[in-house]
Amino acid sequence: MMLDKIKDLRKRHLKSFHDLTFYPYQEEISDDIISALIQNLRLTANSSEEEIKKLKLVEESAEISRQAGKTTAIVHTLEVVMIYFPKMFNLTGMNKLELGIFAPQAEQAKTDFDRLKEAFLRSNQMIQEVVIDDELQKLYKEQNNSKTVVLPNGASCYIAPISQVSNPESKSLNLMLFEESQDLNDEIAKSKVWPMGAAKNAPRMYVGTAGTRLCHFRTLGLSGGKKLYFEEIVAQRRKVYEETGDARHLVYEQTVRQEITKYGLDSDEIQQPYFGKWLIGTGNFTNEEDLLRMEEVDRKPTFHSKNIGYCFAGIDTAKHPDSTIVTILRWNPDRQKKEILNWMKLHGENYQDQFHIICEFFKNYNIVAIAPDSTAQGSFMADLFINETEWADENSGLFPVAFTAPTKSHLYQNLKVTIKELLTVLPNLGTKHGEEFKQQVLDLQQEYKGQLLSVSHPNAPNAHDDYPDSWALAEWAFAKWNEKNNISVSVIDSTPEKERQVTKDEEGKVTEYWPGESL
């Protein structure tokens, strides 16, 4: 069987040129790469139309414990493939072997690339044996650069980051290998990298560790991908120690166990990198379980609230295709809890009209403080409130917020505490507004940049964060007003109430309006 022959060849090559022997888990990763490539090269060589129609794309994944030697396994597998496969499969001329290594950052891909070039330096004798002609050798040397290594037999390996600013070259690859796959931008990979394997049905091999967000790599893992974590790895390394007496095989176990003692076995710092625990709640700002704890399924959006508690408004002003969202938050003194009462969504960019509509909307509530977005075009809305209403400054309840990295971090740190501590409750989320609100909040992605919490919608078409931004602003209005609760705050209300279907107390005073249908 060809795979067995290549495995034996790999073993002898690594021992001869690198004095290296793979651990069994490294062999598993290497075997998967080699097997997928062999199968595809066989199927695509001299195949009939009917055989081509039966081709299936191979996608495999391997989750592996941090610092366990995955890069070593990958680099030396590609080394063996590039040296021996061109002759085995007659990969010459226009049909030469081309491999690709991709990672979220250029430095990550370069790590594999640099180690691959180092490996070729040690196995240079074997490489030179395939040189046929001085002119050919000169040609291939000229093709080598900072992104591509080319051997005299024509085999090449290309590296590229997968990021917003990357622009991968157009290649026709036989194999695509994705490093640190838990952090890859899937949208860019699908649009810019996957097509590079279309002409040759290139297998896609994903390698990484447990991450913090939903991604294609995690989906592959849930569908039967390989998982190689701490206990299995240290058992294999200890067995090699017992067979060889070489204590270096115990260093990894000792190092990680010190970390376990320091942080605790159940800590995220240990469970994610060494035991394969995906911390989805970390990559996402919050999770569905925490959000739904806040939902009061029997409480519908409130269209009118004048006599129970103070209300606070958050206004996220947005350009097309986003929407301006207003969130109404109430402090209910009877329950000693904050309640989201209602939302309003406005389209378009006529902020003067939006301002008047928002002011009319506010007349339904006991508004004492507002926090409008004053970033860029949002400053126009904040200025309108200052110039045309009694909300002029913080003393009258106006808390404009310009979205900078520090201010947005403060807003979302405040919102995070609100969610975790269940300080606010939500109305039934089965309404149109409620469903949009829920989707946008659950889609939010978070990342710590130094000491600052960065929160934004996913980098995907039709992804928005208008509702959560508006909610965060409403919570901020409450927090800032609460800091000043020793001052007298007047309720701004300049128009009589319109007659409507309402709930009244025993004295006939309006207390609430509970609409029967969603907006």
- pLDDT, position 169: 75
In degrees, to the nearest 5, what angle opens at C-alpha 463 toward C-alphas 460 and 469? 135
Taking Cα atoms as reference points, which of 451, 482, 457, 452 lies closest to residue 469?
457
Q: Is the pLDDT of residue 341 over 50?
A: yes
Q: Is the pLDDT of residue 512 over 70?
A: no
Q: How far is CA 458 from CA 187, 221, 439, 446, 512, in A?
A: 10, 21, 12, 9, 37
- pLDDT, position 46: 74
Q: Does an H or E element contain 161, and which? A: strand 156-161
Q: What is the pLDDT of residues 267-320, one digit of tens each?
A: 878 999 999 998 776 688 998 999 999 999 999 999 998 888 899 999 999 776
CATH code of domain 2-227: 3.40.50.300
Kindly report the pTM of this predicted structure: 0.60
Q: Is the pLDDT of residue 358 over 80?
A: yes
- pLDDT, position 124: 82
> What amino acid occupies position 420?
K
SS (H, E, C) 131-144: CCCHHHHHHHHHHC
Mean pLDDT for 14-29 is 96
- pLDDT, position 351: 83
User: What's the fold here for domain 288-513?
Assistant: Nucleotidyltransferase; domain 5 (3.30.420)
In degrees, to the nearest 5, what angle opens at C-alpha 484 toward C-alphas 360 and 318? 40
- More reliable by pLDDT, 237 or 170: 237
Q: What is the pLDDT of residues 125-162, one digit of tens each?
A: 776 654 444 555 555 565 667 788 999 888 999 999 99
Q: What is the pLDDT of residues 227-244, one digit of tens each?
A: 999 999 999 999 999 999
Bridge partner list, 158: 100, 148
Indicate the domain borders of the chain: 2-227, 232-280, 288-513
Highest mean pLDDT among 8-12, 121-125, 454-458: 8-12
Phi, psi dihedral angles at 324 (to 5 degrees): -80, 125
Q: Tokens 């009462």: give the residue.
A: 341
